Amino acid sequence: MAKTMADWRRMKENSEKIVVVTAYDAPTARILHESGVDILLVGDSLGNAVLGYDSTVPVTMAQMLHHSAAVRRGAPEAFIVSDMPFGSYQCGWREAIANAILLMKEGGCDAVKLEGGAEVAPLVERMVTAGVPVMGHIGLTPQTASLLGGYRVQGRDLPAAKKLLAGARALQDAGVFAIVLECLPKELAALLSAQVTAPTIGIGAGSGCDGQVLVCSDMFGLYEKFVPKFVKQYVKLAPMMREATRQYAEEVRTGRYPDDEHSFTATTDYQALLEGEN
Ligand code: KIV
């Protein structure tokens, strides 16, 4: 049965793990939802996973709306969270709330996610007050990875860990319904998870989080450019797709495809078409 906002806290209290996977298109969304995934995340990882960018920074509101709506069409009953792309929430709370509402109305999502700790808590509070459910995201925040010195594990020393704890608490007080913890030592992620009542959703943050998220193209072995240490490929689709394409090309070139099984047969005598032509 599809889950709702009412389930996330209950699941944490009952130590039931929350399963989150990213989705960017309708058929994948349908498969993930039918397979029992609790939350579909239309991540701005869309930029790397689907659109061919090197980071999430170029992703626009128009692209997030386009892909969120596709995911909603593929999984009408799923709980869907859409990422607010870089630039859609940094220029003032009015614009941020307007963009979040657009993602809900036109993109069809149930909630939005944005990156940042204590510094975004006042914005999150305004958004939640306006009726927008918000998921937080701390640790490695890809939209500002260059400020963090690149894509690296966060919270390695005590001052950094202290900032993350303060961020998690500030987001919780601001009313987030869950917090993504990305690329943290597992011990720190477990400690943060125990310190907040909002469920934590880990990615590269060990098993002590209240749930896990993976990028679907990583999990399916479709994205080969870079495979982070925390990614487990449950299937390797890229080589399978290459092999299928090679077979198809070979069969087209040798005339083995399409065969009778994959062709339509006439029910009309087409010779009549040519009668009287010459
Ligand atoms: O954009 C994304 O897919 C994400 C997850 C990695 C948490 O933010």
**246-259, pLDDT tens digit by residue?**
999 999 999 999 99
Pair of tokens at residue 238 = 């890229």
Judgement on whether residues 107 and 232 belong to the same structural domain of the protein: yes
Judgement on whether residues 57 and 179 belong to the same structural domain of the protein: yes
Mutate to test the pocket of ligand 1, among 42, 45, 55, 180 (most ligand atoms within 8 A of CB): 45
Residue located nearest, by CA, to atom 3 of ligand 1: 43
36 pLDDT higher than 80: yes
Q: What predicted TM-score, i.e. pTM, was given to this entire model?
A: 0.96
The atom of ligand 1 lying closest to the CA of 214 is 6
Judgement on whether residues 86 and 154 belong to the same structural domain of the protein: yes
Judgement on whether residues 171 and 262 belong to the same structural domain of the protein: no
Residue located nearest, by CA, to atom 1 of ligand 1: 43
Helix (H) or strand (E) holding 123: helix 121-129
Pair of tokens at residue 59 = 């992703």
Judgement on whether residues 27 and 101 belong to the same structural domain of the protein: yes
What is the C-alpha separation between 101 and 74, in angstroms, rounded? 21
45 pLDDT higher than 90: yes
Which DSSP symbol is given to 208?
A: T
Pair of tokens at residue 160 = 């950094």
278 pLDDT higher than 80: no
In single-letter form, the type of residue at position 112 comes to V
Judgement on whether residues 135 and 245 belong to the same structural domain of the protein: no
Which DSSP symbol is given to 144?
A: G
Q: Which residues have CB under 6 Å of ligand 1?
A: 22, 41, 43-45, 83, 137, 180, 182, 203, 213, 215
Average pLDDT, the chain: 96
- The residue with tokens 């298109």 is 25
Judgement on whether residues 57 and 180 belong to the same structural domain of the protein: yes
- Whole-number Å distance, alpha carbon 256 to ligand 1 midpoint, is 43
Judgement on whether residues 187 and 263 belong to the same structural domain of the protein: no
User: What range defines the domain where residue 131 resides?
Assistant: 5-236
Instruction: Say which residues have a Cβ less than 8 Å from residue 25's Cβ, sequence separation at least 6.
Output: 50, 67, 70, 71, 74
What is the C-alpha separation between 49 and 182, in angstroms, rounded? 17
23 pLDDT higher than 70: yes
Judgement on whether residues 224 and 249 belong to the same structural domain of the protein: no
Judgement on whether residues 85 and 131 belong to the same structural domain of the protein: yes
**CATH number of the structural domain spanning residue 144:** 3.20.20.60
Top mean-pLDDT range of 2-11, 36-45, 148-157, 221-230: 36-45
CB-CB neighbours of 115 under 10 Å = 23
Judgement on whether residues 166 and 270 belong to the same structural domain of the protein: no
Instruction: Say which residues have a Cβ less than 8 Å from residue 246's Cβ, sequence separation at least 6.
Output: none
- The residue with tokens 């487990």 is 232
68 pLDDT higher than 70: yes
Quote the number of domains for the chain.
2
8 A C-beta contact, residue 71 and residue 25: yes
- Whole-number Å distance, alpha carbon 258 to ligand 1 midpoint, is 41
- The residue with tokens 């590269």 is 204
What is the C-alpha separation between 95 and 227, in angstroms, rounded? 35
pLDDT band at 148 (very low <50, low <70, confident <90, very high): confident
* Dihedral Cα 67, 70, 74, 79, nearest 10 deg: 60
Q: Cα-atom radius of gyration of the chain, to the nearest Å?
A: 23
Judgement on whether residues 111 and 245 belong to the same structural domain of the protein: no
Q: Which is nearest to 111 in space by CA: 8, 241, 10?
A: 8
The predicted-structure confidence for 167-214, as pLDDT tens digits, reads as follows 999 999 999 999 999 999 999 999 999 999 999 999 999 999 999 999
Active site amino acids: 182
